[in-house]
Chains A and B, each alone.
Chain A
């Protein structure tokens, strides 16, 4: 046992030169992080296809409607779960592990174990997805995977989460950076969320409307305490690193972290305003949702102050572009969310496509874009090679940005009009709400094609990177250690 513990501790690095140490750490991470990135991108492609299909089915209900496994009610949750667990969680884990190792300045030991965990995680996503399409969905939103798939996911995660904590435990002495706080919190929060939700909803199910409370406590907290911290951890590292300037106010970072931790976890009930729950629970959620202004504005002020005077860097850094779009969207979607929780506004938006627009703005506009930015920084450092084509990166950026902008705009406007019809007591025909939102749903479906194209471009870029299609660069764009110890980067 003590041998195992000793083997986990990387000890002091052999080479005091920081860029060599960094290169050694990156080399130790290569296998596991690339595995998570690869599998994440594969799920992203499949998830985009299913999402676009589901969207077109809403505009053309007879599209592929004879097969039971392709019915909208199965394709839609398959899309959702693939995106949450197959894409977002995988790349989040990959980015999180890389960042944690980088900031703790520890090389990864026993990486075979972590790669095994990655395989188990992907297996869980695969059998869960097959389960949904085969008609075994639980129809509990964000937890549709059947009961026999969730333990596989949990086992895979347990191994991953443990690694995050171990890296933190054996970190080099010195200050703990804000990203490390967020990542440690995410790695500890997620298993508790997942275990609680699964226990009370699937393994030992609770009665009646309590299901709703637990369901949305889980769903919203996965967004705010798993994805948001990973996204913010990445932004807090990438933005200062790329522009070469430290974060503007560290005190604001601390305030942002703790206020997020306290207020976010109470938000869950705002998904069920008007539902069969005690008024105080709903009120607490509404209050907490509005209190989210504090952490959100803190992060926004901090990032903006750090970026001030450096916005022109967006012209020539892909990492910065994707990350800043992601960070700005974080502010936008969070403020939108706080407003959506106000009961009089919630009346209009509840049950409509507006909510779907909000969800995509958060998970795609914030989290996915931030992860793209992180991957553009991380992958060259793992493979020791430059991205092969600036043109393709630009195509990826503009297809993704325009895709998500069109998607969110159409769902927001359409959902708003849908809500007006749904709530109007003079309107007695339900179908009027369906008719008014129909053209917007078609536009949304077309935006899915744009997004799928963006992901295809990115996947091709990524494969080309793995195949070393790029040219090894020297100079300011050097991303890995020089080959001979005597070489210094030419900066």
Chain B
């Protein structure tokens, strides 16, 4: 058993132990709920759903992007 392996085994036990404890707490606290609205969190009033967010810096692309934004 070299010092390196002892170090790693200790670290593993510490991390796994505290991780397991935190896992038990999380289950008791009810953490896995309300996933329906989750993917919408990256949008807001200024960058809403339905607004494209990027285009080439030329007129043709800007026009296409503006047209896509109008579509329902």
A residues at B contact (CB < 8 Å)? 17-19, 22, 103, 174-175, 177-178, 196, 199-200, 203-204, 237, 240-247, 250-251, 253-254, 313, 315-320, 376-377, 386-390, 393-394, 470-471, 473, 475-477, 489, 491
Contact = CB atoms under 8 A, between A and B. Distances in A.
Contacts of A313: 52, 68
B57 A473 contact: yes
Contacts of A376: 54
A17 B45 CA distance: 9
Given A315-B61, A316-B56, A317-B55, 13 more contacts: A18-B47, A19-B46, A175-B34, A175-B38, A177-B39, A204-B2, A241-B53, A242-B53, A244-B53, A320-B54, A386-B57, A477-B55, A477-B62
Nearest to B56: A390
Contacts of A178: 38-39
A317 B43 contact: no
Nearest to B50: A244
Nearest to B64: A316
Interface in B14-72: 34-58, 60-62, 64-66, 68-69
A313 B66 CA distance: 11
A1 B46 CA distance: 38
Contacts of B50: 244-245
B54 A242 contact: yes
A203 B8 CA distance: 13
A210 to B, nearest CB: 11
A376 B8 CA distance: 41
A251 B46 contact: no
Given A246-B42, A476-B66, A477-B62, A318 B54 contact: yes
A375 B59 CA distance: 21
A243 B42 CA distance: 12
Nearest to A388: B57
A235 to B, nearest CB: 13
B28 to A, nearest CB: 19
B32 to A, nearest CB: 9
Nearest to A180: B41
Given A175-B34, A317-B56, A475-B62, A489 B46 contact: yes
Contacts of B13: none
A377 B55 CA distance: 9
A263 B52 CA distance: 35
B34 A316 contact: no
A316 B61 contact: yes
Nearest to A248: B39
Contacts of A473: 57
Given A196-B8, A203-B4, A313-B68, A175 B41 contact: yes
Contacts of A199: 4, 7-8
A247 B39 contact: yes
B10 interface: no
